[in-house]
Amino acid sequence: MERNTLAMVHDFLRQHVHSGALCIDATAGRGRDTALLCRLAGPDGRVFAFDIQQCALDQTAALLASEGLQAELHLDSHANMNHYALAGSVDCIVFNFGRLPGGDPMIMTRADSSVAAVKAALELLKPGGVMALAIYYGGANGYGERDALLEALRGVDERHYSVLCCDWRNRGGDPPMAVFVWREM
């Protein structure tokens, strides 16, 4: 069985996202996470997807169209997601940090906006809501964004949220980390 970070994130989404859910894909990219959220939330749900690259939103729109799915796509930074949803209203938020595969290698998620977005996302989650993050680091990504995110997550109030960071211990290179967040009831 293949075990990887993206598969773990998708398993987590399948366990937690129910029909009718309000979901946010904070990094639309090629749209695979958006499409999964749309399938899980179903026709009664709502999915917002953000990306700062129009070519990413175009790829997401094409994937959704090919599967007969619909989401609300926004050409905007995920740091502004709180302009689109009310605090305490969102069931699930997904981040997949890094670069658009096959896209401009100079455009990537960055520590400042990523930390701001995660803080905004924490406020948007409803009690019982969840968040999943896939953090890519090392190589051209460097370690700054990962370290800034982990530091910010360490400071999250444990009375209201549970944060689990999953780090592969016996794999070479810099395998991406999965982080799971639950907002307590």
Ligand X SMILES: C[S@@+](CC[C@H](N)C(=O)[O-])C[C@H]1O[C@@H](n2cnc3c(N)ncnc32)[C@H](O)[C@@H]1O
Contact residues toward ligand X (CB under 6 A) are: 27, 29-33, 50-53, 56, 77-79, 96, 98-100, 107-109, 113
Q: Which two tokens stand for residue 35?
A: 């499409």
- The nearer residue to ligand X, 99 or 146, going by C-beta atoms, is 99
- The nearer residue to ligand X, 98 or 159, going by C-beta atoms, is 98
CB of 32 to ligand X, least distance (A): 3
CB of 29 to ligand X, least distance (A): 2
In this structure, how many other beta carbons lie within 10 angstroms of the beta carbon of residue 163?
18
Tokens 């905004």 map to which residue? 120
- The nearer residue to ligand X, 64 or 153, going by C-beta atoms, is 64
- The nearer residue to ligand X, 136 or 163, going by C-beta atoms, is 136
CB of 38 to ligand X, least distance (A): 12
- The nearer residue to ligand X, 98 or 129, going by C-beta atoms, is 98
Residue nearest to ligand X (CB): 29
The set of long-range contacts for 143-151, using a CB threshold of 8 Å and a minimum separation of 24, is 144/111, 145/97, 145/109, 145/110, 145/111, 145/114, 146/177, 147/111, 148/111, 148/112, 148/114, 148/115, 149/97, 149/111, 149/114, 149/115, 149/118, 149/179
In this structure, how many other beta carbons lie within 10 angstroms of the beta carbon of residue 140?
10
Contact of 49 with 60, CB cutoff 8 Å = yes
CB of 154 to ligand X, least distance (A): 22
CB of 158 to ligand X, least distance (A): 27
